[in-house]
Amino acid sequence: MAGPHESAGSPSSPDDVDASATHIEQARREQLAERLAAVHERITAAGGADLLPVTKFHPARDLRLLAGLGVHTVGENREQEARSKHEELGGHPAIAMIGQIQTKKANSVARWASAVHTADSEKLIRALSRGTGLALERGDRSTELEVLIQFSADGDPHRGGAVAGDIQALADAISGAPHLTLRGLMTVPPLGWDAREVFARGRQLLESIADRIEGSPVYSAGMSGDLELAIAEGATVVRVGTDILGPRPSTLDT
C-alpha cells in the first residue's frame, strides 16, 4: 500500500527514465560486442575476411553503438533508410549500399554511400557516375565512389545482379566512367543453389576482371549462414546481419 506521501501510480522521475535508458543502451552495447566477437571468431577460424555488419531495419542508435565498438562501415539495403541514418549519424559509421538501386535514386546514393556493391547495368553505372560528379562538385563527398559489380547466378531481375556474360562489359564501363572506381564483385547464392559453386563462379569472374580493378580485388560474398563457404572460395568481405544485430524489428525506430 502506498504511504501518505506516495501514489501507487505516480510516474517515474526524469532521473529514473534516464537511468533506465542508459541501462538498456549499455546492455545492447554488451550484446553487440559479444555477437561481434563471436562472428569475428568464425571469420578467423575460416581463414579471415573483412566484416560488413548489415543494419537494415535496425535503428540508428545500433549503428552508433557499432561505431563505438570499432565498426567503420555498415551495409544498408534501402536508399531512404540509409540516407536518413547517414544524415542522423553524420557519416559515422560509413554506409555501403548493398541493395538494389533504382536509376532515379543514383544521385542520392552517390551523396552518402561509401561504396556500392550492386552495380548491375550500364545505365545504373552512368547514373552513379553523374551523381558522384555532382556530389563532388557540391562538396557532399570528397572521394570517388567505389563500386562492385553484382553477379547474379540465376539472372532473376527481382534480385538484381548481372549474369556472367555481362560482367566484362560492366567492368569496362565502370573502369572508364568518371568519378567511379572499380573495386571488385559481389554475389548472393539463389535459394536452393549450391552456395559453394556460386561462390567459386563469382571468384572466377572476379579474377577475369582483375586487370581493371584498382587496389586489391574485393570479393563480397557470404552471410550469416554461409560465410565459411564463401571465405573458402576467396571472399574478402562477408556481410552479416542477424548473427550480430539479432532479428530485424518489424518497424524502424531511429
Q: What is the mean pLDDT of residues 16-35?
A: 86
Q: What was the pLDDT predicted at 248?
A: 76
In a domain, 117, yes or no: yes
Q: What was the pLDDT predicted at 162?
A: 97
pLDDT tens digits along 169-210:
999 999 999 999 999 999 999 999 999 999 999 999 999 999
pLDDT tens digits along 79-114:
999 999 999 999 999 999 999 999 999 999 999 999
CATH of the domain at 88: 3.20.20.10
In a domain, 165, yes or no: yes
Q: Which domain holds residue 186?
A: 18-245
* pLDDT for residue 13 is more than 80: no
* pLDDT for residue 1 is more than 90: no
Confidence of residue 15 (pLDDT cuts 50, 70, 90): low
Among 25-29, 50-54, 154-158, which stretch is predicted with the lowest mean pLDDT? 154-158
In a domain, 8, yes or no: no
- 33-64 b/e (C-beta count within 10 Å ≥ 16 → b): eebbeebeebbeebeebebbbbbbbbbbbbbb
Domain count, the chain: 1
* pLDDT for residue 22 is more than 50: yes
In a domain, 197, yes or no: yes
Q: What is the mean pLDDT of residues 40-67?
A: 97
* pLDDT for residue 71 is more than 60: yes
pTM, two decimal places: 0.89
233 or 24, which is more confident? 233
Q: What was the pLDDT predicted at 10?
A: 53
* pLDDT for residue 3 is more than 60: no
In a domain, 2, yes or no: no
* pLDDT for residue 46 is more than 50: yes
Q: What is the mean pLDDT of residues 33-38?
A: 98
pLDDT tens digits along 211-232:
999 999 999 999 999 999 999 9
In a domain, 250, yes or no: no
Q: What is the mean pLDDT of residues 229-242?
A: 98
pLDDT over 90, % of the chain: 86
In a domain, 13, yes or no: no
In a domain, 252, yes or no: no
* pLDDT for residue 253 is more than 60: no
Q: What was the pLDDT predicted at 254?
A: 39
